[in-house]
Amino acid sequence: MSQKIVLYPDPVLRKKATPVSRISREILDLIDEMTRTMVEADGVGLAANQVGSLHRIFVINTTPHDATPTPVVMINPEIIDQEGSVIEQEGCLSFPNLYVTIDRADRVTVHAKNAFNEAIVYETTGLLARAVQHEVDHLNGVLIIDHVSTDEDKEAVEQWQKNVRPGVEV
């Protein structure tokens, strides 16, 4: 069984995740579970906060358009360079059926560790660059609703709140 994805407004989504100091058995198990959960949910990415953990880890599926997923894990990720700007619709597994337009960098370079404790440099663009920025946001307690700026998106959030999560303050 894979883990349950934490939905807004669970407070863990607002917490800042802590850097991983040692890649223990527990961390490796968490990575396995996160990967399985992301693939089952058909997500492009998943951050540890979304399964109730506060380790600085996310997974992304680097082949989101293919039948076979290619998950990559990033431990203690840091965006060290970014350029360009693209406005696109974006969703989040913790906000089922909510889509808002978010302005993100088009190209990012990330430094991280992989599960073998090796330093990796990951350069990506388009959808995956968007996913990386989205997941780094999660690790800092930042959510898609924090990026809402247009009246249309404010309305979408209101409707989502009313129809999908009644009683939830956004």
Residues that bind Zn ion (CB under 5 A): 92
Which tokens hold the place of 104? 């993100």
Amino acid at 135: E
CB of 77 to Zn ion, least distance (A): 14
Active-site position among 26, 83, 90, 135: 135
CB of 22 to Zn ion, least distance (A): 26
135 is catalytic: yes
Nearer to Zn ion, 23 or 135 (CB): 135
Nearer to Zn ion, 23 or 31 (CB): 31
CB of 96 to Zn ion, least distance (A): 11
Residues contacting 136, CB < 8 A, separation 6+:
58, 77, 79, 110
How would DSSP label each residue in 6-62?
A: PPTT-GGGGSPPBPPSS--HHHHHHHHHHHHHHHHTT-SEEEGGGGT--BSEEEEES
Question: Which residue, judged by CB position, is nearest to Zn ion in the bound state?
Answer: 92
Active site residues: 135
